Amino acid sequence: MTWLNAGGKAASRKFRKRLFDRMTDKTCHCYGCGRNQGVDSSELPCLALQGWFIVSHLVGPEDIKRYGFCSLECLQRWVNENAEAIPEIFLNSFDEL
């Protein structure tokens, strides 16, 4: 597997080590059900979080919020609770046309 940096070039060994060092002894929190999954320093994060969904929200320049979900059901629940719904009166207005 080849790791790529932001410029699309192959990432250096030093970059990969820094990436994994930041992930050691961390916990990923599921924003759907509240479950916490630990990431041990001896395992790769991609294996410890296998099956999880990680969503990045690009808020602004250099401002990225990341959300973790342990299942598709938790992701769907979170989207339903946090997405703005289309008002019913707006949808009903199409029936009148």
User: E strands of the chain, at which residues?
Assistant: 26-29, 36-39, 53-60, 63-69
Q: Summarize pLDDT for 6-48 with one digit per residue, the tens.
A: 555 555 666 555 555 554 457 888 999 999 988 887 888 888 8
**Is 62 within the bounds of a domain?**
yes
**Number of domain units in the chain:** 1
Amino acid at position 41, single letter: S
**Is 89 within the bounds of a domain?**
yes
Q: Which domain holds residue 30?
A: 24-96
d(CA 88, CA 70): 31
d(CA 49, CA 72): 14
**Is 13 within the bounds of a domain?**
no
**Is 90 within the bounds of a domain?**
yes
pTM of the model: 0.58
